C-alpha cells in the first residue's frame, strides 16, 4: 500500500514563526499578483485538450459530455478542469501547498450524512485531488461564482463581489483556525443546519431549510433505485442514464470482488454479511461523463440492502503540472485525498482495478495501459449531495461565504495553517486579487466556451444528449 506524503517538517515549528514566514512570502509573491491572468501566446487550444482527455473515456458517452458542457460558460467550466489546470500552472503561487480538490467549483460542494446521521456540508468530489498550491482551488471556486452570478442575472460588479466575499471568508476562516491545536482543526466540521441558520437572507434561509428537510427523506427509500416487487431486490433501470450494460457486467463484478478482498478485517466482517446481487451502469455529472460508474446492490439473505458505487479514477488533470503522484492506483489517490480533506469520510471508501498489472509509468505517474482503476464508496444521496448547487440558486451571496469557509477548513487539514494565515492577512488584498482574477478568467472561460460551441457547429466534435435526436447547435442557444 502506498503511503501519503508526511506533513512538512515546517509545521513542527512554533506558530508565531510560521505566521511570520507567511507574512514574508508577501514580498516574494505579493498578494496583488494573485489577480494576474493573461492568456499566454502559446496557450493550447482548449478543444484539443478536451479531445485528448476524451481519448481515455468511453467514446459513446462523449457526445453526452459535450452536450452538457455546451449548455453555458459555467457548464463548460465544470467539464474543462483540464483546461483550467493548464492555465493555473502558469499563474503566480506563493509557495504553500495543500491537498487540493483539483476541481473546486460551487457545484462540487454539497451535503452528506456523517456517521452519526447529521447532515454536514463539505467538498464532495475528489476525482482530481492532488497536493497543489492552495491558490488553485480558491481561483477555480471564485471563477465558478462569477460565472454562476452572471448566469443568474447579476451585474459584473455583483458577480465579482461573490468571488471577493468567498476569498475573504476563506482568509477569515484560516485566521480563526490558525491558533487552534491540530486535533481541534482536524475535528472542525460545518453542521449544515447551523450554517443555514446563519444565512443573512431570511427568505433564502427558509427555502433552503425546507429543501433540506425534503431531501433527507430520499435515502430511506434507496433513492428510488431498488425495485420493490416482493422478491429478491433488483436495481431499477432509468434509461438512458441508468441502465444495464451486459458487456461490462463481468468487469464491474470482478472489480467489486477485488475491493471486498482487500478490505481491512473490521470492514470485511461487515461486508461478509452481504452478497453482490445486481449491477447497473450510471452516467454522472458533467466532468465525469465518459468514465465508468456503476452501482452495486448488495443484500443479506433477508433482502436488506447496501448500495455501493464504483467509479473510475483516471490520472488527475493537475498531474501534468505537478510532481508525480506517490499512488500507484488512481482510486487510492482519490480515496486518500477525500480522507484528508473531508471531516467525516465514508467508512466504505476503498479502491480497486479491472485486472492486470499495477505498475505505473515512473515518470508521469499515469496508470497502466488497458487497466481501469476505481474507487468505491457508499452510494451517496445525489439529491442531498447536489443540494449545494441548489442552495446557490436560492441565495448565492450566502452560499459564496459558506463555500469559502468550507474550503479553508478542507485546506487547513493538510496545509500549514499559520503560514497560510500569515500570507493571507487580515485585510482585503488577497480577496480583491482573487475577485480580479476570477472575473478575468470567467471572461476567458466564456471565450473558450464560444470556441467549443463553434467546434461543435463545425463538426469537429459531436454533442448530443441521450434520447435526443437533434444534435446540439451553438446557434440555437441563448448567448450567455
On the CB side of 356, CA atoms within 13 Å amount to 13
Rg (CA), the chain: 22
| pLDDT tens-digit readout, 96-134 | 999 999 999 999 998 877 777 777 889 989 999 999 999
Q: Which helix (H) or strand (E) holds 203?
A: helix 202-215
Task: Give the whole-number percent of the chain exceeding pLDDT 70.
Answer: 85
Cα 27 vs. chain centroid, distance in angstroms? 32
Q: Are residues 375 and 392 in the same domain?
A: no
Q: Do residues 244 and 209 both lie within one domain?
A: no
For the segment 25-39, the average pLDDT, to the nearest whole number, is: 97
Q: Helices (DSSP H) in 55-129: which residue ranges?
A: 62-69, 73-79, 81-88
Q: What are phi and psi of 91, to 5 degrees?
A: -95, 160
Same domain, 200 and 176: yes
Together in a domain, 355 and 418: no
State mean pLDDT over 162-185.
97
* Residue 5 domain-assigned (yes or no): no
Listed ranges 199-203, 222-226, 233-237, 475-479; the one with the highest mean pLDDT: 233-237
Distance CA 47, CA 421 (A): 38
Assess if residue 6 is contained within a domain: no
Query: Which grid coordinates are listed for 354?
Result: 479491472
Query: What's the CA gap between 143 and 225, in Å, rounded?
Result: 35
Strand partners, 242: 238, 282
Which one has a higher pLDDT value, 222 or 458? 458
Q: How many domains does the chain divide into?
A: 2
pTM: 0.89
Mean of the pLDDT values across residues 413-436? 97
Which residue segment(s) compose the domain that 49 sits in?
A: 12-217+386-476
Which three cell numbers mark 23? 507574512
Helix (H, G, I), strand (E, B) or coil at 422: helix
DSSP state of 262: T
Q: Tell me the torsion sign for CA atoms 305, 109, 79, 359.
A: negative
Using alpha carbons, list the distances in angstroms from residue 23 to 27, 416, 434: 8, 13, 18
In this structure, are 151 and 259 located in the same domain?
no
The verdict on residue 2 lying in a domain is no
Q: In the predicted model, what is the mean pLDDT of the chain?
A: 87
Same domain? For 395 and 362 the reply is no
Instruction: Tell me the C-alpha distance between 85 and 91, whole Å.
Output: 10
309 versus 196: the higher-pLDDT residue is 309
Same domain, 283 and 352: yes
Does any domain span residue 395? yes
Claim to verify: residue 213 and residue 321 sit in the same structural domain: no
pLDDT of residue 118: 75
> So what's the pLDDT on residue 480?
46
Amino acid at each position: 500500500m502506498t503511503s501519503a506524503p508526511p506533513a512538512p517538517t515546517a509545521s513542527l515549528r512554533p506558530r508565531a514563526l510560521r505566521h511570520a514566514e507567511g507574512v514574508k512570502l508577501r514580498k516574494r509573491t505579493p498578494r496583488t499578483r494573485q489577480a494576474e491572468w493573461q492568456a499566454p501566446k502559446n496557450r493550447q487550444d482548449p478543444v484539443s485538450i478536451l479531445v485528448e482527455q476524451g481519448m481515455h473515456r468511453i467514446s459513446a458517452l462523449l457526445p453526452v459530455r459535450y452536450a452538457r458542457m455546451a449548455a453555458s460558460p459555467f457548464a463548460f467550466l465544470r467539464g474543462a478542469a483540464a483546461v483550467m489546470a493548464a492555465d493555473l500552472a502558469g499563474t503566480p503561487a506563493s509557495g504553500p501547498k495543500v491537498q487540493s480538490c483539483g476541481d473546486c467549483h460551487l457545484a462540487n460542494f454539497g451535503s452528506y450524512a456523517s456517521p452519526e446521521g447529521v447532515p454536514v456540508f463539505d467538498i464532495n468530489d475528489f476525482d482530481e485531488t492532488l497536493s497543489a498550491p492552495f491558490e488553485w482551488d480558491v481561483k477555480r471556486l471564485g471563477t465558478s461564482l462569477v460565472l454562476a452570478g452572471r448566469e443568474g442575472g447579476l451585474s459584473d460588479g455583483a458577480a465579482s463581489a461573490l468571488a471577493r466575499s468567498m476569498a475573504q471568508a476563506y482568509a477569515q476562516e484560516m485566521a480563526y483556525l490558525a491558533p487552534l491545536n491540530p486535533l481541534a482543526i482536524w475535528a472542525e466540521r460545518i453542521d449544515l443546519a447551523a450554517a443555514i441558520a446563519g444565512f443573512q437572507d431570511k427568505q433564502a434561509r427558509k427555502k433552503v431549510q425546507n429543501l433540506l428537510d425534503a431531501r433527507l427523506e430520499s435515502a430511506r427509500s434507496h433513492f428510488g433505485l431498488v425495485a420493490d416487487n416482493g422478491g429478491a431486490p433488483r436495481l431499477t433501470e432509468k434509461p438512458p442514464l441508468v441502465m444495464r450494460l451486459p458487456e461490462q457486467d463481468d468487469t464491474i463484478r470482478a472489480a467489486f470482488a477485488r475491493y471486498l478482498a482487500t478490505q481491512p478485517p473490521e470492514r470485511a466482517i461487515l461486508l461478509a454479511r452481504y452478497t453482490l446481487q445486481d449491477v447497473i451502469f450510471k452516467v454522472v455529472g458533467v466532468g465525469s461523463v465518459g468514465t465508468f460508474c456503476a452501482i452495486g446492490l448488495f443484500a443479506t439473505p433477508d433482502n436488506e440492502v447496501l448500495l455501493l458505487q464504483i467509479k473510475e479514477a483516471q490520472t488527475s488533470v493537475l498531474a501534468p503540472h505537478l510532481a508525480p503522484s506517490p499512488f500507484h492506483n488512481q482510486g487510492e489517490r482519490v480515496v486518500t485525498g477525500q480522507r484528508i480533506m473531508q471531516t467525516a469520510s465514508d467508512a466504505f471508501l476503498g479502491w480497486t482495478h479491472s485486472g492486470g498489472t499495477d505498475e505505473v509509468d515512473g515518470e508521469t505517474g499515469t496508470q497502466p495501459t488497458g487497466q481501469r482503476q476505481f474507487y468505491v464508496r457508499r452510494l451517496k444521496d445525489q439529491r442531498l449531495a447536489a443540494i449545494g448547487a441548489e442552495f446557490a440558486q436560492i441565495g448565492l451571496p450566502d452560499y459564496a461565504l459558506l463555500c469559502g469557509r468550507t474550503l479553508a477548513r478542507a485546506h487547513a487539514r493538510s496545509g500549514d495553517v499559520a503560514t497560510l494565515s500569515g500570507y493571507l492577512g487580515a485585510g482585503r488584498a488577497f480577496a480583491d486579487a482573487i475577485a480580479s482574477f476570477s472575473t478575468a478568467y470567467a471572461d476567458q472561460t466564456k471565450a473558450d466556451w464560444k470556441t467549443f460551441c463553434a467546434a461543435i457547429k463545425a463538426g469537429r466534435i459531436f454533442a448530443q444528449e441521450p434520447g435526443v435526436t437533434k444534435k446540439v447547435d451553438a446557434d440555437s442557444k441563448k448567448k450567455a
